[in-house]
Structure 1
């Protein structure tokens, strides 16, 4: 599974700002070709999100989505923003999560009319299941929005084309409703993002807040007032989904490390400076080749203590290993700074040596775990320390 952040992409600045305001300390990240992303953590968590702007249209959305996937190796890509409703049953302000996406402009023109030849991408099963679960919990919307009834989350098809649809009586509007009558919403980017995810093996979710009914009112004053709330609703649900996706990825990484045979765990931790010593006299030593000629080699021959972990000493040792990973480039500056702050906080709590301080140390170390999931060796070293802090509580 990917160790990267969740990528969230939007087409409009309005949508971008709705997501950005939910991130703590976003930092600019520049792709080598000039595309700019911002990477921050979801407020109140350690889960990272990379945010990018694609501009309008399936083509530009596909290019930027693929660039983001290649750059970040994300847990998932979420495309977030506003859309028009195709049917009255979908309320203004509601959030539509795509069960599948139609690229509806595929077709063939024949004497009796335009025949539909769409491309279709289904949403990944795991993301659909998680989104449905969050919708049932119904704890994702901003309580302070103050805009009437709470928005509903609806699941269904989304139609993605190449033109702005702002009529219910035009020939194209009638054609869309005839051939894609199960689509709940219509927009212009989902097909490009879905294709990029398909080609690169990245899970994609399309999340749209309904701002209009594609009925000629798209540029009205009412629509301009509804767009910000629709964008905020979509952003709120997307952020909730992003946090859960990142948490699931973190738990999977921990289970993978815990399930390793002990020898594999030790090997995975060699890069964090686990003490290794060797003595060779008049000899040739080929450790990497697994050969020793004419000498003896001693690797940690001292017996390991089997007693309880000395948590204070272990945390101080982990601090040195954290610095080593940063120096070697395995941890970027911002991640290292946040990880160091969490570690120092856990160390102070552990030195308190009471049940409450030990509990705080364990909670802080769990937050720290989310920052080092990209470093299996650090993760393997941290897991028993979390357990040791919990045992003291």
Structure 2
């Protein structure tokens, strides 16, 4: 089992496009969508929506890590670009996550005291293989002719602020104190910190560029920047999930070994383009044990 986390509804919907046999799993009030990657019946995903902000991301990262003991966790979503060479829809795989709000405020200066977390080495390595020949593009949904988003491996800055300016005090601080960060977002540091504390669970952040953090965010959103960025980030994340080892407790036919049973349920799922995925056989989560 692997976990994908998102913050916004558009991000959650983009991941759901790739899942079949999706069922709700409820844990301590949190409703988690558990499904299988379309066409990959041995790759199961628990999908969690955190809402915006680092605190919620941290709390729910720990909650789902404890519940599912995942092999890997990926935070997927949109980000504002801090570099002119980034196009709307490009993907940034975070090699490093900065928490930029830590510091000491003096009379005449803000002294930066950052925290930082690196991507899990194995996930970073698998991600880099996906850019060979743009292999991850095969997971793009509704791809237009000639559409070729690029995936970059760069640091990302994170804080509980929506940045929509290249000239504000915060923009200046990011430029001077976090100069290698190419994008900015609002959940990755909470996610990365909780993953780091959780017995070193493998974790990585994948973001699509939805705007340029330059004052035109509203216009970019109206033009579909968030939807495009979320779609591309989700495609990369799903490609990464399928590149990892399949779930060891799922039989070759994709059936789920869940016990004790409370009554069988069975259905067949049709993926995009009417391609039959497989027959999924399992039991109601309400009376079944935790999925591992």
TM-score by length of 1: 0.62
- Separation in 2, partners of 1:333, 1:119: 49
- Separation in 1, partners of 2:105, 2:262: 54
Q: Which structure features the higher share of strand residues?
A: 2
Aligned equivalent of 1:162, options 154, 160, 163: 160
The question of 1:45 aligning with 2:40 is answered yes
Cα contact 1:58–1:189 (8 A) shared by 2: yes
How far off its partner does 1:233 sit?
A: 0.2
SS at match of 2:165: coil
- Separation in 1, partners of 2:107, 2:70: 46
1:59-74, aligned counterparts within 5 Å?
A: 59-74=55-70
Aligned equivalent of 1:14, options 3, 10, 19: 10
Q: Could you list the per-position Cα deviations for residues 279-301 of structure 1 after superposition, in whole angstroms to 9, with x for gaps in the alignment?
A: xxxxxxxxxxxxxxxxxxxxxxx
User: What's the C-alpha RMSD, in Å, of the aligned pairs?
Assistant: 2.6
Cα contact 1:211–1:223 (8 A) shared by 2: no
Q: Which structure features the higher share of helix residues?
A: 1
Q: Could you list the per-position Cα deviations for residues 101-156 of structure 1 after superposition, in whole angstroms to 9, with x for gaps in the alignment?
A: 00000011123310110000011111100000111241212274117530011001
How far off its partner does 1:214 sit?
A: 0.4
Q: Could you list the per-position Cα deviations for residues 299-325 of structure 1 after superposition, in whole angstroms to 9, with x for gaps in the alignment?
A: xxxxxxxxxxxxxxxxxxxxxxx99x7
SS at match of 1:133: helix
Cα contact 1:75–1:245 (8 A) shared by 2: no
How far off its partner does 1:221 sit?
A: 5.4
The question of 1:232 aligning with 2:228 is answered no
Q: Could you list the per-position Cα deviations for residues 183-230 of structure 1 after superposition, in whole angstroms to 9, with x for gaps in the alignment?
A: 011000000000110111211110000010000111125554111111
Cα contact 2:210–2:220 (8 A) shared by 1: no
Cα contact 1:15–1:81 (8 A) shared by 2: yes
Q: Could you list the per-position Cα deviations for residues 328-349 of structure 1 after superposition, in whole angstroms to 9, with x for gaps in the alignment?
A: 52x8978x958xx9xxxxxxxx
- Separation in 2, partners of 1:111, 1:69: 42
- Separation in 2, partners of 1:240, 1:23: 12
- Separation in 2, partners of 1:19, 1:122: 24
Cα contact 1:212–1:223 (8 A) shared by 2: no
1:145 is matched with which residue?
143
1:67-106, aligned counterparts within 5 Å?
A: 67-106=63-102
1:207 is matched with which residue?
206
How far off its partner does 1:92 sit?
A: 1.4
Larger Rg: 1
- Separation in 2, partners of 1:83, 1:63: 21
Distance change >3 Å, CA 333–CA 14, structure 1 → 2: farther
TM-score by length of 2: 0.83
1:121 is matched with which residue?
117
SS at match of 1:163: coil
- Separation in 2, partners of 1:195, 1:90: 27
Cα contact 2:25–2:31 (8 A) shared by 1: yes
Where do 4+ consecutive residues of structure 1 move more than 6 Å? 331-334
Consecutive unaligned residues of structure 2, counting only runs of 5 or more, are 269-277, 282-292
Distance change >3 Å, CA 222–CA 81, structure 1 → 2: closer
Q: Could you list the per-position Cα deviations for residues 72-100 of structure 1 after superposition, in whole angstroms to 9, with x for gaps in the alignment?
A: 11111110010000111222110000001
SS at match of 2:64: helix
SS at match of 2:218: coil
1:315 is matched with which residue?
none
Distance change >3 Å, CA 73–CA 143, structure 1 → 2: closer
- Separation in 2, partners of 1:221, 1:65: 29
Q: Which has the higher contact order (CA 8 A, sep 6+)?
A: 2
